[in-house]
Structure 1
Amino acid sequence: MAGPGGSAAVGGADGGTAWLRAMPAVFVLIWSTGFIVARYGMPHAPPLSFLSLRYLLSVGCFLIWIALARVAWPRGAAQWGHLGLTGVLMHGGYLGGVWAAVRSGMGAGTVALIVGLQPLLTALWVSAQARSPLTGQALREPVTPRQWAGLLLGQGGLLLVVWHKLGIGEVTAANLSLGLLALASITVGTLYQKRHVAPCDVRSANAVQLMAALAVTAPLALLESAPVVWHPALVGALAWSVLALTLGGSSLLYLLIQRGAATRVTSLLYLVPPCTALMAWGLFGETLGGLTLAGVAMCVLGVAWVVRESH
């Protein structure tokens, strides 16, 4: 697992290198299960109540892990503040917006399409910052023409993947605002973390982020009128959300942001809707048409163009 500086230490140099190379693929697979979990758990709990339980249990798991491993906590009030803000954005704002939008009637494919705009927004911001003499060095990552082509190709593939899920009349002003909130939260949170959060242990950093998200989400959950029904599907969805999505997926995202350029990291999210479509096909029997398969190929090629180092 991550060492004190957030670096991987897995079985020596060769094992560590192999793990670092596998991290993006593992992240995409784990992150893609988010909408699958929502399908299982959403009928039995309102979104903010579910997320509050997820954050609470995740914080408990991280605290036990931190105590057993004697992990160092982030140093300084400023670092705690930066982590708290990114936690509110990347956990509370992003997940809260996505789950509330789905609960309000927006299809999962539509939400995926809206949030899938993040790599383009990140590339636009990074490109603008790279040309600005007023910014610091952390985000100076000029986007190359090949990367722009990859971003646009990935966006086109994303449209093909979710196109068959778009329904007439499912989008309202309310759930559209929630989807845009999720998009803005994950985009700003990713860029802010890349620039302001200093390297630290991923376990203690995640614990701080989740505590901040819980502090914001729990009071809002008290306003929800629907009860939590402890159905086996809800218990399973909650367990997977805590152990795989939060402890696994969020930790990998934190490490990827610290290690990689913001544009290359966020471009991995183009692969999430195609992977989700494939999982839904295997688990729920949802059909995969020719346009979906073509979109998967476009997403994979687009991401390859973005993440490949310039020569």
Structure 2
Amino acid sequence: MPTPKADSLWIRAMPAVFVLIWSTGFIVARYGMPHAPPMTFLAWRYALSIAAFGVWVALARVPWPRQRAQWGHLAVTGVLMHAGYLGGVWAAVKAGMGAGLSALIVGLQPVLTAVWLSATGGRVAPRQWLGLVLGFVGLVLVVWHKFGHGGPGDSATPLNLAYAVAALLAITAGTLYQKRYLQPCDVRTANTVQLGAALLVTLPLALLEAEPMHWNAQSAGAMAWSVLGLTLGGSSLLYLLIQRGAAASVTSLMYLVPPCTAVLAWVLFGEPITPTTLAGTALTALGVALVVRGGR
């Protein structure tokens, strides 16, 4: 049996492990998108994840949420944090956005979260306003550089920017909603309900896509990691961290995701890391750090 010391070490390591797993999500999107339309891939991902969680729930005999309201709240967060967030990211990558840029835009989620919490509390600190400005300037530097200059799979257009911003708004709203309304319950049954709601929203969109799903080693590998690593691992960790009140720890580390993703995308896909990209990413990271620290 795990010792209390081992449990304590695992709890402290959870935010860092989550961020490492989360960083691979943008890479998997870029890796799998040449072989599948985004909503079809995600519908398969949700269905396979539900099956995996279903087996886990049955073997462990864990309880389902008892209150009807909890099912509704779980469904809302599932639509926002799975269908909305993942749908926006995968659609943006399919529309030509690079993994690094999509991670940078969605990486502004801690800024929106901190500002919302501060605004609802009645005050936004001057340091946070400075962080907002720096983060916005950094993002503009990266986006402006990629408008009309990015190569295949690494460009910025009004369409893919709209998809990425929609993903940013969805993950922010989902995080705030979950923290506000969800009561603690088993992460396995909670994720199953969330994924079921996401599948109900995504499947009709998948049926409208004309492009077929091409199964090969690359798409199968992307699907396997999406289900086992990202959904069963990453999404479960995110749920546990929010329920444990460790959202601040996740937020403080989240701005490490864009530079980690940029390095992985450079190594795997050859996405260029220019001085402008480095400067913009650094400014955005500094801005997010100022917002987060200013809100504590």
Give the TM-score taking structure 2 as reference length.
0.85
Aligned-pair CA distance for 1:113: 3.2
**Partner amino acid, structure 2, of 1:209:** Q
Structure 2 unmatched runs, 5+:
none
Contact kept, 8 Å, 1:109 with 1:166, in 2: the verdict is no
> Residue 165 of structure 2: which of 180, 185, 202 is its match?
180
Give the SS at the match of 1:32.
helix
**Distance in 2 (alpha carbons) for counterparts of 1:117 and 1:222:** 31
Q: Please, which moves more after superposition, 264-273 or 274-283?
A: 264-273
Structure 1 unmatched runs, 5+:
1-9, 132-141
Aligned-pair CA distance for 1:260: 2.9
Query: Which residue matches 1:22?
Result: 13
Aligned-pair CA distance for 1:70: 1.2
Contact kept, 8 Å, 2:37 with 2:209, in 1: the verdict is yes
Aligned length: 292
Query: Which residue matches 1:136?
Result: none
Contact kept, 8 Å, 1:155 with 1:299, in 2: the verdict is yes
Q: Please, which moves more after superposition, 262-271 or 25-34?
A: 262-271
- The structure with the greater share of residues assigned to helix is 2
Contact kept, 8 Å, 1:113 with 1:158, in 2: the verdict is yes
Give the SS at the match of 1:98.
helix
Contact kept, 8 Å, 1:113 with 1:159, in 2: the verdict is no
Matches within 5 A, 1:162-173: 165=146, 167-168=148-149, 170-173=155-158
**Distance in 2 (alpha carbons) for counterparts of 1:164 and 1:12:** 51
> Given the alignment of the two structures, is residue 63 of structure 1 paired with residue 48 of structure 2, yes or no?
no
Q: Please, which moves more after superposition, 50-59 or 155-164?
A: 155-164
Contact kept, 8 Å, 1:112 with 1:162, in 2: the verdict is no
Query: Which residue matches 2:205?
Result: 220
Matches within 5 A, 1:181-200: 181-200=166-185
**Distance in 1 (alpha carbons) for counterparts of 2:195 and 2:221:** 20
Superposed CA offset, 1:44-93 (max 9, x none): 11000000000000001001111111111112110010001000000001
Give the SS at the match of 2:209.
coil
Aligned-pair CA distance for 1:181: 1.6
Superposed CA offset, 1:221-243 (max 9, x none): 00000001111100000000000
Matches within 5 A, 1:249-260: 249-260=234-245
**Distance in 2 (alpha carbons) for counterparts of 1:308 and 1:121:** 13
**Distance in 2 (alpha carbons) for counterparts of 1:13 and 1:309:** 33
Aligned-pair CA distance for 1:193: 0.3
Query: Which residue matches 1:4?
Result: none
Give the SS at the match of 1:230.
coil
**Distance in 2 (alpha carbons) for counterparts of 1:266 and 1:205:** 22
Query: Which residue matches 1:114?
Result: 105
Contact kept, 8 Å, 1:84 with 1:208, in 2: the verdict is yes
Give the TM-score taking structure 1 as reference length.
0.81
For residues 27 and 66 of structure 1, do their structure 2 counterparts lie closer, same or farther at Cα, with a shift above 3 Å needed? same
Superposed CA offset, 1:14-67 (max 9, x none): 111111111111111111111211122101110000000000000010011111
**Partner amino acid, structure 1, of 2:208:** L
Give the SS at the match of 2:64.
coil
**Partner amino acid, structure 2, of 1:180:** V
**Partner amino acid, structure 2, of 1:253:** L
Give the SS at the match of 1:100.
helix
How big is the alpha-carbon RMSD for the aligned residues of Structure 1 and Structure 2?
Answer: 3.1
**Distance in 1 (alpha carbons) for counterparts of 2:102 and 2:270:** 21
Identity %: 67
Contact kept, 8 Å, 2:23 with 2:260, in 1: the verdict is yes
Aligned-pair CA distance for 1:111: 2.7
Superposed CA offset, 1:133-183 (max 9, x none): xxxxxxxxx776667767766666667777765545954444333222211
Contact kept, 8 Å, 1:107 with 1:166, in 2: the verdict is no
Matches within 5 A, 1:100-249: 100-131=91-122, 165=146, 167-168=148-149, 170-249=155-234
Query: Which residue matches 1:49?
Result: 40
For residues 256 and 73 of structure 1, do their structure 2 counterparts lie closer, same or farther at Cα, with a shift above 3 Å needed? same
Query: Which residue matches 1:99?
Result: 90
Aligned-pair CA distance for 1:263: 5.1
Query: Which residue matches 1:134?
Result: none
Give the SS at the match of 1:33.
helix
